[in-house]
Structure 1
Amino acid sequence: MTHSPNAAAEMAAVTISHIPGREITENLGIVFGSSVRSRNFLFDIFAMLKNLFGGEVRSYTRLLEDAQQEATSRLIAQAQKLDADAVVDVHFATSQVAYKAAEIFAYGTAIRLK
Protein backbone atom coordinates (compact mmCIF):
# COMPACT_ATOMS: atom_id res chain seq x y z
CA MET A 1 0.00 0.00 0.00
CA THR A 2 1.22 3.47 -0.76
CA HIS A 3 1.01 6.60 1.36
CA SER A 4 0.10 9.15 -1.30
CA PRO A 5 -2.18 12.15 -0.70
CA ASN A 6 -5.10 9.85 -1.58
CA ALA A 7 -3.87 7.14 0.78
CA ALA A 8 -7.11 7.27 2.78
CA ALA A 9 -8.89 5.93 -0.29
CA GLU A 10 -6.17 3.32 -0.79
CA MET A 11 -5.71 2.15 2.80
CA ALA A 12 -7.81 -0.85 3.73
CA ALA A 13 -9.88 -0.49 6.88
CA VAL A 14 -11.73 -3.76 7.46
CA THR A 15 -13.91 -5.28 10.16
CA ILE A 16 -12.16 -8.66 9.96
CA SER A 17 -8.88 -9.52 11.71
CA HIS A 18 -6.78 -9.93 8.55
CA ILE A 19 -6.33 -8.72 5.00
CA PRO A 20 -7.15 -11.65 2.70
CA GLY A 21 -4.09 -12.87 0.84
CA ARG A 22 -1.67 -10.69 2.86
CA GLU A 23 0.53 -11.48 5.85
CA ILE A 24 0.56 -9.17 8.86
CA THR A 25 4.15 -8.44 9.87
CA GLU A 26 3.64 -5.90 12.63
CA ASN A 27 0.90 -4.75 14.98
CA LEU A 28 1.24 -0.97 15.45
CA GLY A 29 -1.48 -0.65 18.07
CA ILE A 30 -4.95 0.78 18.41
CA VAL A 31 -6.01 3.75 16.29
CA PHE A 32 -9.24 5.66 16.53
CA GLY A 33 -11.24 8.51 15.11
CA SER A 34 -14.37 10.23 16.26
CA SER A 35 -16.88 12.82 15.18
CA VAL A 36 -19.39 14.60 17.37
CA ARG A 37 -22.43 15.97 15.59
CA SER A 38 -25.44 17.87 16.78
CA ARG A 39 -28.74 18.45 15.13
CA ASN A 40 -30.49 21.77 14.82
CA PHE A 41 -34.01 22.97 15.40
CA LEU A 42 -35.08 22.34 11.79
CA PHE A 43 -33.94 18.71 12.02
CA ASP A 44 -36.12 18.25 15.10
CA ILE A 45 -39.23 19.80 13.52
CA PHE A 46 -38.87 17.58 10.47
CA ALA A 47 -38.31 14.51 12.67
CA MET A 48 -41.48 15.26 14.66
CA LEU A 49 -43.47 15.44 11.42
CA LYS A 50 -41.94 12.16 10.24
CA ASN A 51 -42.96 10.56 13.55
CA LEU A 52 -46.59 11.45 12.77
CA PHE A 53 -46.55 9.89 9.30
CA GLY A 54 -43.72 7.34 9.55
CA GLY A 55 -40.75 6.76 7.30
CA GLU A 56 -37.04 7.38 7.28
CA VAL A 57 -35.74 10.69 8.59
CA ARG A 58 -33.18 11.20 5.83
CA SER A 59 -31.63 14.31 7.36
CA TYR A 60 -30.63 12.26 10.42
CA THR A 61 -29.41 9.42 8.21
CA ARG A 62 -27.16 11.83 6.28
CA LEU A 63 -25.94 13.36 9.55
CA LEU A 64 -24.89 9.94 10.85
CA GLU A 65 -23.37 8.87 7.52
CA ASP A 66 -21.28 12.06 7.45
CA ALA A 67 -20.15 11.47 11.03
CA GLN A 68 -19.18 7.86 10.24
CA GLN A 69 -17.18 8.98 7.19
CA GLU A 70 -15.39 11.63 9.23
CA ALA A 71 -14.60 9.20 12.07
CA THR A 72 -13.25 6.67 9.55
CA SER A 73 -11.10 9.32 7.85
CA ARG A 74 -9.64 10.31 11.21
CA LEU A 75 -8.94 6.67 12.08
CA ILE A 76 -7.09 6.24 8.77
CA ALA A 77 -5.18 9.50 9.29
CA GLN A 78 -3.97 8.25 12.65
CA ALA A 79 -2.91 4.94 11.06
CA GLN A 80 -1.02 6.84 8.35
CA LYS A 81 0.94 8.72 11.05
CA LEU A 82 2.14 5.30 12.24
CA ASP A 83 3.07 4.40 8.63
CA ALA A 84 0.53 1.57 8.69
CA ASP A 85 -0.54 -0.32 5.60
CA ALA A 86 -4.05 -1.13 6.84
CA VAL A 87 -6.40 -1.13 9.80
CA VAL A 88 -8.06 -4.39 10.88
CA ASP A 89 -10.81 -5.20 13.39
CA VAL A 90 -12.52 -1.86 12.77
CA HIS A 91 -15.55 -1.26 14.98
CA PHE A 92 -17.96 1.62 15.41
CA ALA A 93 -19.71 2.84 18.52
CA THR A 94 -22.00 5.73 19.24
CA SER A 95 -22.96 7.64 22.33
CA GLN A 96 -24.74 10.77 23.37
CA VAL A 97 -22.11 13.18 24.70
CA ALA A 98 -24.36 16.19 25.35
CA TYR A 99 -27.97 17.22 24.90
CA LYS A 100 -28.73 16.73 21.19
CA ALA A 101 -25.10 15.82 20.37
CA ALA A 102 -23.94 12.32 19.45
CA GLU A 103 -20.49 10.86 18.87
CA ILE A 104 -19.58 8.24 16.31
CA PHE A 105 -16.36 6.52 17.40
CA ALA A 106 -14.30 4.27 15.11
CA TYR A 107 -11.43 2.12 16.37
CA GLY A 108 -9.25 -0.66 15.09
CA THR A 109 -5.70 -2.05 14.96
CA ALA A 110 -3.10 -0.47 12.67
CA ILE A 111 -0.85 -3.03 10.97
CA ARG A 112 1.97 -3.40 8.52
CA LEU A 113 1.79 -5.99 5.79
CA LYS A 114 4.42 -8.11 4.08
Structure 2
Amino acid sequence: MTNTTKPAADMAVVTISHVPGREISENLGIVFGSSVRSRSFLFDIFATFKNLFGGEVRSYTRLLEDAQQEAISRLTAQARKMDADAIVDVHFATSQVAYKAAEIFAYGTAVRLK
Protein backbone atom coordinates (compact mmCIF):
# COMPACT_ATOMS: atom_id res chain seq x y z
CA MET A 1 0.00 0.00 0.00
CA THR A 2 1.19 3.47 -0.74
CA ASN A 3 0.19 6.79 0.79
CA THR A 4 -2.44 5.23 3.02
CA THR A 5 -2.93 4.55 6.69
CA LYS A 6 -3.42 0.95 7.73
CA PRO A 7 -6.61 0.18 9.67
CA ALA A 8 -5.94 0.28 13.41
CA ALA A 9 -6.95 -2.56 15.71
CA ASP A 10 -9.12 -0.10 17.66
CA MET A 11 -11.28 0.76 14.61
CA ALA A 12 -14.06 -1.80 14.24
CA VAL A 13 -14.97 -2.31 10.57
CA VAL A 14 -18.00 -4.58 10.16
CA THR A 15 -20.41 -5.55 7.40
CA ILE A 16 -23.38 -5.69 9.78
CA SER A 17 -25.40 -2.79 11.19
CA HIS A 18 -23.93 -2.97 14.70
CA VAL A 19 -20.74 -3.78 16.56
CA PRO A 20 -21.40 -6.93 18.62
CA GLY A 21 -21.41 -6.17 22.33
CA ARG A 22 -21.36 -2.39 21.82
CA GLU A 23 -24.05 0.25 21.49
CA ILE A 24 -23.96 3.00 18.87
CA SER A 25 -24.29 6.45 20.40
CA GLU A 26 -23.97 8.62 17.30
CA ASN A 27 -24.19 8.23 13.53
CA LEU A 28 -21.51 10.42 11.92
CA GLY A 29 -22.35 9.81 8.29
CA ILE A 30 -21.16 7.93 5.24
CA VAL A 31 -17.46 7.28 4.70
CA PHE A 32 -15.79 5.79 1.67
CA GLY A 33 -12.46 4.74 0.27
CA SER A 34 -11.45 3.65 -3.19
CA SER A 35 -8.49 2.39 -5.14
CA VAL A 36 -8.16 2.41 -8.91
CA ARG A 37 -5.70 -0.09 -10.34
CA SER A 38 -4.59 -0.84 -13.85
CA ARG A 39 -2.75 -3.74 -15.38
CA SER A 40 0.38 -3.39 -17.45
CA PHE A 41 0.86 -4.94 -20.86
CA LEU A 42 3.47 -7.35 -19.46
CA PHE A 43 1.09 -8.28 -16.63
CA ASP A 44 -1.57 -9.21 -19.19
CA ILE A 45 0.84 -11.36 -21.21
CA PHE A 46 1.68 -13.49 -18.16
CA ALA A 47 -2.01 -13.76 -17.26
CA THR A 48 -2.85 -14.85 -20.82
CA PHE A 49 -0.35 -17.72 -20.56
CA LYS A 50 -1.90 -18.75 -17.24
CA ASN A 51 -5.36 -18.70 -18.85
CA LEU A 52 -4.15 -21.17 -21.49
CA PHE A 53 -3.42 -23.76 -18.80
CA GLY A 54 -6.29 -22.90 -16.45
CA GLY A 55 -6.34 -22.24 -12.75
CA GLU A 56 -6.22 -19.18 -10.58
CA VAL A 57 -4.48 -16.12 -11.97
CA ARG A 58 -2.68 -15.27 -8.73
CA SER A 59 -1.27 -11.98 -10.02
CA TYR A 60 -4.82 -10.67 -10.53
CA THR A 61 -5.87 -12.00 -7.13
CA ARG A 62 -2.99 -10.13 -5.46
CA LEU A 63 -3.83 -6.99 -7.42
CA LEU A 64 -7.43 -7.08 -6.18
CA GLU A 65 -6.42 -7.91 -2.60
CA ASP A 66 -4.01 -4.96 -2.55
CA ALA A 67 -6.70 -2.66 -3.95
CA GLN A 68 -9.20 -3.87 -1.34
CA GLN A 69 -6.76 -3.24 1.51
CA GLU A 70 -6.00 0.22 0.17
CA ALA A 71 -9.73 1.02 -0.07
CA ILE A 72 -10.24 -0.14 3.55
CA SER A 73 -7.27 1.96 4.71
CA ARG A 74 -8.72 5.04 3.04
CA LEU A 75 -12.16 4.27 4.47
CA THR A 76 -10.81 4.06 8.03
CA ALA A 77 -8.65 7.17 7.56
CA GLN A 78 -11.75 9.17 6.63
CA ALA A 79 -13.62 7.77 9.65
CA ARG A 80 -10.73 8.72 11.96
CA LYS A 81 -10.94 12.32 10.71
CA MET A 82 -14.56 12.28 11.91
CA ASP A 83 -13.42 10.89 15.30
CA ALA A 84 -15.36 7.66 14.73
CA ASP A 85 -14.92 4.51 16.81
CA ALA A 86 -16.25 2.13 14.17
CA ILE A 87 -17.63 1.74 10.66
CA VAL A 88 -20.78 -0.34 10.23
CA ASP A 89 -22.62 -1.66 7.16
CA VAL A 90 -19.40 -1.81 5.13
CA HIS A 91 -19.89 -2.84 1.50
CA PHE A 92 -17.59 -3.22 -1.48
CA ALA A 93 -18.25 -2.50 -5.14
CA THR A 94 -16.15 -2.72 -8.26
CA SER A 95 -16.33 -0.97 -11.58
CA GLN A 96 -14.29 -0.49 -14.71
CA VAL A 97 -13.40 3.19 -14.85
CA ALA A 98 -11.27 3.08 -18.01
CA TYR A 99 -9.82 0.56 -20.41
CA LYS A 100 -7.87 -1.92 -18.25
CA ALA A 101 -8.45 0.12 -15.07
CA ALA A 102 -10.73 -1.08 -12.30
CA GLU A 103 -11.90 0.55 -9.09
CA ILE A 104 -12.58 -1.13 -5.78
CA PHE A 105 -14.87 1.05 -3.71
CA ALA A 106 -15.60 0.54 0.01
CA TYR A 107 -18.29 2.45 1.87
CA GLY A 108 -20.06 2.35 5.20
CA THR A 109 -21.39 4.43 8.07
CA ALA A 110 -19.01 5.99 10.59
CA VAL A 111 -20.30 5.80 14.16
CA ARG A 112 -19.31 6.56 17.74
CA LEU A 113 -19.81 3.84 20.32
CA LYS A 114 -20.90 4.16 23.95
Q: Which category describes the TM-score, using the shorter chain as reference length? A: over 0.9
SS of 1:44's partner is helix
Q: Which runs of 4+ in 1 moved over 3 A?
A: none
Amino acid at match of 2:73: S
1:51 offset after TM fit, Å?
1.3
Aligned length: 110
2:84 maps to 84
Moved more, 102-111 or 37-46: 37-46
What stretches of structure 2 of length at least 5 have no aligned partner?
none
More off after superposition, 75-84 vs 45-54: 45-54
How many percent identity over aligned positions? 85
- TM-score, structure 2 as length reference: 0.92
Instruction: Give structure 1 stretches of 5+ with no counterpart.
Output: none
> Contact 1:18 / 1:88 at 8 angstroms: preserved in 2?
yes
- Please name the residue that 1:96 is paired with: 96
Contact 2:6 2:73 in 1 (8 A): no
Of 36-45 and 103-112, more deviation after overlay is shown by 36-45
Root mean square deviation, CA, Å:
1.4
Deviation at 1:10, TM superposition (A): 2.3
Q: Give SS of 2:49's match.
A: helix
Cα offsets for 1:71-98 (capped at 9, x unmatched): 0000000000000000000000000000
